[in-house]
C-alpha cells in the first residue's frame, strides 16, 4: 500500500469569495474486486482542499473505477472514501454533492443549454430567479454567454464539453470529478481547454480529481499526479517530481519519453554508482530508496533531452564512454530528434536537442560520443 499526504502543499486555495471552497478527499486502503480480479488494489491517497490531482495510467489501471466509487456509481470491496469529514459508504450518489464531468458529455439532447445547466439546480430545489442567476454565471464562466437557448446538437464538441463543465460547477460543489473529459476532442482544442479548466478550477477553489491516460495533459494541469497500474498506486507527487525522480521503471517509462540501457552494476558509492553498459562504464545517480546490489543486472534510464552528443572526428579515438552513430534525424520545429545506434552494446536510443544547439547540426552517419550528468540517469534493477 502507498499512502500519500502532500504536507508541502498549501492547505487551501482562494475561492470566488476569497476563502477555500474545496474539501479534502481521503481514499483509505480502497480495494475493488470483481471475483478474483482486483481493479483497485489497496489504494490510499489524500487530496487537499482546492488541489487538482490527476489519476494517470493506462487502460485497465483502475483510475476510472476509483473515480466511479467516489461518485457513488460503484462500491468498494474494502476501505473508506471520505470527503471532508463525511464517510461516503452509505451516501447515495445523488446525495454526495459532487460535480461530475463525463468523457462523452452526457447532455440531455431534448434540453437547451440553459436547461442542461439548470438540471442539478432543479434537483436541489433552487428557486427560479436564483436558478437563472446561477445559470448565467456558469455560462459566463465557461465563455458561453449567448448560447443559453441553443440545443446540444447545435454545438461543437468543445462547446458541448463546456456545457457539461458548467453543469458540473453550477451548484458550486466542493469536489469535482472528471473522467477523461477532453478525450474526444482534437489536440489543439484539448490543449486550449486544459488551460481553461485549470484557470476555472483555481478561480472556484474546488478540489478536482481528473482521470486521464494522457501524460502531457496530466503534466500540464495537475498540482500532483497519482500514477496507477494494475490497480495499484505506483507513485504520487508533483509533475516535476515524477518526471525527474520516478520511483520505479513503470513511472519512468509511462511519464514522458525515456531511454533504457541494460547493464551491470560495477561500483556503488554514496549517492552514485557506475554501470557497465557494453565496454563502457557509465555514471548514474543512486536513489536512497532503491537498493541496487553490486554486480546485479540493472537498467539505466535517461530522458532523451538530458543526453549530450559530441561529434567524433575521423582521427579522434573514442573515449571510455559510450559512442555511436546518428542513424536518423527528425525535425520537430523547436527540437531535433536524433536516433543514435551503438555497436557495443547493440542499442538504438533517442536524443532530443534544441534546434539551435550544437547537436542539431549533426547529420546521419556521423559518429558521436554520448554523455549525461549522473543526476539525470536513474538506475532500476532488471527485475523491477
pLDDT tens string 154-197: 998 889 988 999 999 999 899 999 998 887 778 888 888 888 88
Domains and CATH numbers, the chain: 25-98+173-250 (3.40.50.300), 257-381 (2.40.50.100)
Average pLDDT, the chain: 88
**Residue corresponding to grid cell 454526495:** 96
**Are the CB atoms for 271 and 290 separated by under 8 Å?**
no
Residues, the chain = 384
Q: C-alpha angle with apex 136: 54 to 209, nearest 5 degrees?
A: 10
**Are the CB atoms for 278 and 342 separated by under 8 Å?**
yes
Can you say how many angstroms the Cα of residue 212 is from the centroid of all Cα atoms in its chain?
7
| Phi, psi values for residue 271, rounded to 5° | 90, -15
Of 152, 163, 213, 216, nearest in space to 188 by CA: 216
Instruction: Report, as an integer, the average pLDDT of 322-339.
Output: 94
Of 372, 383, 348, 382, nearest in space to 262 by CA: 382
The total of other beta-carbon atoms located within 10 Å of residue 375's CB is 13
CB contact set of 59 (below 8 Å; sequence gap of 6+): 213
| Amino acid 314: pLDDT | 65
DSSP for 46-114, written as a single string:
EE-TT-EEEEE--TTSSHHHHHHHHHTSS--SEEEEEETTEE-TT--GGGS--EEE-TT----TTS-HH
Q: Is the pLDDT at 48 greater than 60, yes or no?
A: yes
Amino acid at each position: 500500500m502507498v499512502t500519500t499526504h502532500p504536507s508541502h502543499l498549501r492547505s487551501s486555495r482562494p475561492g470566488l469569495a476569497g476563502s477555500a471552497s474545496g474539501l479534502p478527499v481521503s481514499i483509505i486502503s480502497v480495494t475493488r474486486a470483481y471475483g478474483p480480479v482486483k481493479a483497485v488494489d489497496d489504494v490510499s491517497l489524500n487530496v487537499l482542499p482546492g488541489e487538482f490531482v490527476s489519476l494517470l495510467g493506462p487502460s485497465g489501471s483502475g483510475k476510472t473505477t476509483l473515480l466511479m466509487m467516489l461518485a457513488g456509481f460503484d462500491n468498494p470491496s474494502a476501505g473508506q472514501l471520505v470527503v471532508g469529514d463525511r464517510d461516503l459508504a452509505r451516501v447515495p450518489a445523488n446525495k454526495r454533492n459532487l460535480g461530475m464531468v463525463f468523457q462523452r458529455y452526457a447532455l440531455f439532447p431534448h434540453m437547451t443549454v440553459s436547461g442542461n445547466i439548470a438540471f442539478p439546480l432543479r434537483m436541489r430545489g433552487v428557486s427560479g430567479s436564483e436558478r437563472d442567476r446561477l445559470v448565467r454565471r456558469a455560462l459566463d464562466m465557461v465563455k458561453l454567454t449567448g448560447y443559453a437557448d441553443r440545443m446540444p446538437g447545435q454545438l461543437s464538441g468543445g462547446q458541448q464539453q463546456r456545457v457539461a463543465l458548467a453543469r458540473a460547477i453550477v451548484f458550486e460543489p466542493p469536489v469535482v470529478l472528471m473522467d477523461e473529459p477532453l478525450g474526444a476532442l482534437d489536440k489543439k482544442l484539448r490543449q486550449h481547454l486544459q488551460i481553461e479548466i485549470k484557470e476555472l478550477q483555481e478561480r472556484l477553489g474546488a478540489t478536482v480529481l481528473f482521470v486521464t491516460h494522457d501524460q502531457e495533459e496530466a503534466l500540464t494541469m495537475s498540482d500532483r499526479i497519482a500514477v496507477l497500474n494494475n490497480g495499484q498506486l505506483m507513485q504520487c507527487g508533483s509533475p516535476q517530481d515524477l518526471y525527474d525522480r520516478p520511483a520505479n521503471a513503470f513511472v519512468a517509462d509511462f511519464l514522458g519519453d525515456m531511454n533504457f540501457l541494460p547493464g551491470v552494476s560495477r561500483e556503488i558509492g554514496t549517492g552514485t554508482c557506475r554501470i557497465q553498459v557494453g565496454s563502457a562504464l557509465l555514471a548514474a545517480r543512486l536513489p536512497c530508496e532503491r537498493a541496487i546490489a553490486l554486480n546485479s543486472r540493472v537498467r539505466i534510464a535517461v530522458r532523451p533531452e538530458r543526453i549530450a552528443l559530441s561529434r567524433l572526428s575521423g582521427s579522434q579515438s573514442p573515449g571510455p564512454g559510450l559512442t555511436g552513430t546518428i542513424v536518423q534525424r527528425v525535425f520537430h520545429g523547436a527540437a531535433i530528434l536524433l536516433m543514435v545506434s551503438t555497436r557495443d552494446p547493440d542499442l538504438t536510443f533517442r536524443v532530443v536537442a534544441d534546434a539551435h544547439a550544437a547537436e542539431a547540426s549533426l547529420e546521419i552517419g556521423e559518429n558521436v560520443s554520448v554523455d549525461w550528468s549522473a543526476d539525470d540517469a536513474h538506475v532500476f534493477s532488471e527485475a523491477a
